[in-house]
């Protein structure tokens, strides 16, 4: 299914109401509430956009081992408002420089690592702030 994103660039997601939606998407993904996550994605929010704490919904799903939620978020085809910035947000990191693969390795989520590598969401050569690559 194709989703046309409306709230995926940094300039758009700054206002408080959009940050609240991103925070809600993070916690819904963390808890495995797929209906809420899907509703917010259908409203145009990107699951790769970070909230003020530098976390996105995909990171929340990985942290709490919500494979179905992560699979649902990665199954959509996204049409962004700005292609270049969307590619940057897909490679987004937390405040320590960890991308999705770093987080999956940190929490030992082998099935999610395979899924992320198959979908080619993150770079395996990206180094975090400590200089480590995902492994």
What digits encode the pLDDT tens for the residues 47-106? 998 888 889 999 999 999 999 999 999 999 999 988 888 888 888 888 888 889 999 999
For the domain spanning 2-119, the CATH number is 1.25.40.20
* Confidence check: pLDDT of 30 > 90: yes
Domain boundaries, the chain: 2-119
pTM: 0.88
DSSP 14-78: -SHHHHHHHHHHHHHHHHT-HHHHHHHHHTTB-TT---TTS--HHHHHHHTT-HHHHHHHHHSEE
């Amino acid at each position: 299914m194709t989703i046309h994103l409306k709230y995926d660039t940094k300039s758009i997601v700054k206002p408080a109401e959009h940050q609240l939606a991103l925070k809600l998407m993070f916690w819904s993904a963390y808890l495995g509430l797929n209906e809420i996550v899907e509703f917010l994605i259908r409203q145009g929010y990107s699951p790769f956009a970070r909230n003020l704490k530098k976390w996105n919904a995909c990171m929340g799903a990985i942290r709490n081992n919500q494979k179905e939620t992560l699979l649902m978020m990665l199954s959509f085809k996204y049409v962004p408002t700005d292609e270049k910035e969307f590619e940057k947000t897909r490679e987004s990191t937390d405040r320590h420089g960890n991308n999705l693969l770093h987080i999956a390795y940190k929490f030992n989520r082998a099935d999610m690592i395979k899924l992320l590598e198959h979908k080619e969401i993150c770079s395996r050569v990206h180094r975090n702030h400590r200089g480590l690559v995902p492994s």
